Structure 1
Amino acid sequence: MSQLPADCLNEIFDYLEEDKFTLHSCLLVNRLWCGVSVRILWKNVWNYKTLIACLPKESKEILYENKIITTTLNSKTPLFDYTTFIKSLSIYNVHDMIKNILQNYQSITPQNLNYKKYIVAREIYKFLMNKISSLRELYFYSYPIINVPNVTFTSYPGAKDCLKYLSKLSCRSDIYPEFFYQLSKICENLQSLSITFENIISNGLIDLISVQKNLKHLVISCYNGEDITNIISSLSKLPNTIIKFDFLYNNGLRNISNFIFLPTITDKHLELSFITKFTNLQELILSFDYNFEYFKELQYASFPHLQVLKFNYSCPKYELLIKFLENNGKNLKEFYVKNNGYLLNLAIAKFCPNLRKLFTIFRNDELETIKVIFNNCQYLESIQAWCGGRYLNDKEILDIIVKYSPRNFYELNIYYIWGAQPKILPEELEEFFINWNNRIPQKSFSFIITKGSKCLKFMKENIEVIEKYKKLGIIKKFKL
């Protein structure tokens, strides 16, 4: 049997990056498979014992002298120079490893625990900064439960070469300022920046944002109404390179997982006008926990390249959103909104003719509205809808899809609301798939079902019908 070349194996194994168990089994096949899979496994630091084994002799001696490791530990030379494969680094994971190291070796008294943590952190970071040739992703989240003292690794020898091609940074706003100051001198070409804001916002964060020249993806998360006025000011001055913006804002009054709509609330710390400067946006995701008044600052904005628009949780006022769609709906490919109202749904049909995916909410009196959307949105491929209560039932949706959906349509995602029960019978489901198979052109159907709390199981007989048509190739994908 001929052997696949290493570059082919590398491309295949990339798909297994999150499957540590399978990748670990690939290590045991042969030398070639081992060499390729270990590079994927060690894109992230994941084994603290191996990491300690890779430390230079000087670092091991320091750990031994401080009674952190034993003399006989990790005496074997590692098979690979594992740290040279690292492309992604999580500070939280490193700190968790430090905690495990100190738990699993010699007993350490509480009085000198922090000092021991600092020593281990210092030696690990010195080693990583020196050995990692080009780090691509850095995740800096650290929590009091682990409580590792700050180590300014950005100033260590080798840090500049290690971090200068960093393309993705995810962090909290309250990291010690020196980290941001040092990084702002090294990294000017981040492509993705994700910031979770806390009550403390380090001064150096503005410096880091201000020097960026090619930022493509920006994520801002505020869970308790943090004041980010100064940050917004620095964002407004960035070059117009951002193509994806994800903004989560919770004013702390309620849990954002609750979809009960509150009266309009204003927040002195919140404004959206700065988004109008991102005229190259292709994707905009707004996750707000109330009917945000400040969307009026965007209603007349123009985003000629916008293809994906998502409103997680609450929705702006209809009149504001409809005006926004009038200006920006033509090029939309995906639109997600968790609210119901026939005026909005009719506006979607009118202003968004090129949609491929749609998630909106239809009441049980909006059958005609769905027909209008199907008629006007001729490229529509997928729709998500709620079923039960005052919303449509599953049989109605399937009937409309088979009769009126456009020729490219192939996917239905149904969410059964709290306490709702499936209405469709096995014979009705079978009739749908027979009719679907007779459509021209023929396309395999994808059927995704999500059940809310108190929703009974999808009927066993219905599952049997679905399995039958999966075997016949009429159903491409079924997920329950």
Structure 2
Amino acid sequence: MTCQLPSDCLNEIFEYLEEDRSTLYSCLSVNHLWCEISVRILWRNICKFKTENNIVASSILSTLISCLPNESKKLLYENKVFILTPTSKLPLFNYVAFCKVLSINFINEIVCNVLKDELLSRKRLVTEEIIKMFANQIYSLKKLFYHNDYYYLNFSFPYFPGLRDLSELRCASNLPSNFFNQLSQICRNLHTLSIDFESNYTSNELKELISLQSNLKILTLSAYDDASWKDIIPALKNNSNAITKLYLYGDKSDLPLSFVGLLSNLQEFIFSFMDGHHFEDFKALQHVKFSNLQTLKFSYQCPRPEYIMKFLENNGKNLKKFFIGDCNRELSLSIANFCSNLKSLFVIFKNSELDMLKTIFINCKYLESIKVWCGKSYFVNEYFLSEEEVFEAVVKYSPNNFCELKIYNTSHSYISSEDLESFFISWKNRIPKKILSLVIIKDEVNIGLNLVDCEENVEIIEKYENLGVIKFRTIDYEEDKDEEELIFQ
């Protein structure tokens, strides 16, 4: 006699499989109940389907077409849009109603890729009818993504009650004003807002939408090609005490930054600019005290070192994570002196700065993870610490809680198998005993050999993994969580 778990138990179990999509796919064929639960989770966010495969994209589109109401199907037929559906029968499930995440661009991209030989007007019509269907079927939408891209959309976004539960919005600043106006009427509880600025002009409707929010916690602003977020700054006033995470992305140094000082409860701040220098507007922030700030990241270009050092003097004690893509002796010393509670650190040490790494290890007694560069940079003709130097410092000076070392090779790895094994033996004998997570970061731009390109090194690594001394993995540069960026979908 078989025993069937109650549906609520299966629901709870399957929720843990949300990111394990291959397992969810296998559950589809077990029985009707398992299929229904799996489908509901898989269709919660269809953006996660791997549409690089045109067969998958075609399958998604044909399924969406089969779910369209008869009047929409008739409209497509009258406009000579013919898309094969898997079956003439009605869909087994109301797939669209399961969706909690809606990306306008994802839908439009699928339509344009599958119907690549169709007229643009017909592609738009298909996209419009599908979006209308989502508007009629989704009763509670959690996330909405809508940006301009190379598949230009020009349609009236449908108003639908499901937007009242919207918690995350990612959009471009130059979307039609009526889109922001519609959201303002019903959407007042955004938790996460990401805006991609396309120009210096910001519509009053977008400003109003921002000012009406009462629970905004996470804010991302991106401005490239002479665009600016200057106009929306006054609209942020109502949320200045609520925002806890701020991510700024740009390509020039004259974007306004002084408003950051108004965010009194800031916990996480990412400063990522591809170009520019000095960032004089950051000067006003160096004296501001953020009592709750725990994560600070400077990707790519940085403000003047003296500004950052003063900022660390005022805020370093609370920091748990600090990442900076540039450094010098004075700044490294500031990290050691002012950031004593760090748990995770990424900083670049030049080949003459081994003493700075040791000092940080000694002063930052709670440090658990560090990422360093090793080798030579052919782009700026600079040498960084060698792997052998880093290994020695880790064994001798890293604090008791230290358990993760990330290495990015900017050139060939010259560590010998003897030195690698010596490091593992020393770590094995260290007290207190902790398993070391050793992560090698690979980069396609870097043509040099890394540590695992040597067969003897691989054998040694496997040996000490089996002994429980280390955990080892390699990741691509883009996968490195320290460099993770929020990307618009």
- Could you state the TM-score of these two structures normalised by the residue count of structure 2? 0.86
Aligned position for 1:136: 142
Tell me, yes or no, if structure 1 residue 464 matches structure 2 residue 469: no
Give the C-alpha shift of residue 471 in structure 1: 1.3
Q: Which amino acid aligns with 2:172?
A: R
Aligned position for 2:155: 150
Q: Which amino acid aligns with 1:175?
A: L
Q: Deviations over 1:201-243 (max 9, x none)?
A: 4442111111111101000011223132211222244341111
Aligned position for 2:301: 314
Question: C-alpha distance in 1, partners of 2:298/2:210?
Answer: 25
Percentage of pairs with the same residue: 49
> SS in structure 2 opposite 1:164?
helix
Matches within 5 A, 1:82-97: 82-97=95-110
Matches within 5 A, 1:157-196: 159=160, 161-196=161-196
Give the C-alpha shift of residue 329 in structure 1: 0.7
Aligned position for 1:348: 335
Moved over 6 A (4+): 70-73
Q: Deviations over 1:369-409 (max 9, x none)?
A: 22221111111000011111321100111111111111100
Q: Deviations over 1:124-164 (max 9, x none)?
A: 232211110100000102323x334322212xxxx0x2101
User: Relative to 1, partners in 2 of residues 1:476 and 1:305: Cα closer, same or farther, differing over 3 Å?
Assistant: same
Is the CA contact 1:133–1:162 (under 8 Å) kept in the aligned structure 2? yes
Q: Which amino acid aligns with 1:33?
A: W
Tell me, yes or no, if structure 1 residue 286 matches structure 2 residue 299: no
Is the CA contact 1:117–1:149 (under 8 Å) kept in the aligned structure 2? no
Question: C-alpha distance in 2, partners of 1:72/1:461?
Answer: 54
Question: C-alpha distance in 2, partners of 1:27/1:79?
Answer: 12
User: Relative to 1, partners in 2 of residues 1:366 and 1:230: Cα closer, same or farther, differing over 3 Å?
Assistant: same
Aligned position for 1:256: none
Give the C-alpha shift of residue 15 in structure 1: 5.2
Give the C-alpha shift of residue 118 in structure 1: 4.5
Question: C-alpha distance in 1, partners of 2:250/2:292?
Answer: 24
Question: C-alpha distance in 1, partners of 2:357/2:450?
Answer: 27
Is the CA contact 1:180–1:204 (under 8 Å) kept in the aligned structure 2? yes
Matches within 5 A, 1:294-309: 294-309=281-296
Tell me, yes or no, if structure 1 residue 423 matches structure 2 residue 434: no
User: Relative to 1, partners in 2 of residues 1:229 and 1:75: Cα closer, same or farther, differing over 3 Å?
Assistant: same
Give the C-alpha shift of residue 34 in structure 1: 1.1
Aligned position for 2:482: none
Aligned position for 1:272: 257
Residue range with higher mean Cα deviation, 66-75 or 26-35: 66-75
Is the CA contact 1:95–1:142 (under 8 Å) kept in the aligned structure 2? no
User: Relative to 1, partners in 2 of residues 1:102 and 1:329: Cα closer, same or farther, differing over 3 Å?
Assistant: same
Aligned position for 1:35: 36
Question: C-alpha distance in 2, partners of 1:457/1:118?
Answer: 48
Give the C-alpha shift of residue 476 in structure 1: 2.3
Q: Deviations over 1:104-124 (max 9, x none)?
A: 8xxx6x4xx52x345433432
Q: Which amino acid aligns with 1:410?
A: C
User: Relative to 1, partners in 2 of residues 1:394 and 1:73: Cα closer, same or farther, differing over 3 Å?
Assistant: closer
Aligned position for 1:241: 242
Is the CA contact 2:65–2:85 (under 8 Å) kept in the aligned structure 1? no
User: Relative to 1, partners in 2 of residues 1:71 and 1:280: Cα closer, same or farther, differing over 3 Å?
Assistant: closer
Question: C-alpha distance in 1, partners of 2:431/2:187?
Answer: 53
Q: Which amino acid aligns with 2:397?
A: Y
Aligned position for 1:254: none
Is the CA contact 2:286–2:310 (under 8 Å) kept in the aligned structure 1? yes
Question: C-alpha distance in 2, partners of 1:421/1:22?
Answer: 39
Structure 2 segments unaligned to the other structure (5+ residues): 50-59, 377-382, 476-489
Aligned position for 2:390: 397
Give the C-alpha shift of residue 101 in structure 1: 6.3
Question: C-alpha distance in 2, partners of 1:373/1:239?
Answer: 34
Aligned position for 1:261: none
> SS in structure 1 opposite 2:342?
coil
Give the C-alpha shift of residue 5 in structure 1: 5.0
Match of residue 434, structure 2, among 431, 440, 443 = 443
> SS in structure 2 opposite 1:312?
strand
CA-based RMSD: 2.2
Aligned position for 1:260: none
Structure 1 segments unaligned to the other structure (5+ residues): 252-265
> SS in structure 1 opposite 2:35?
helix
- Could you state the TM-score of these two structures normalised by the residue count of structure 1? 0.88
> SS in structure 2 opposite 1:206?
helix
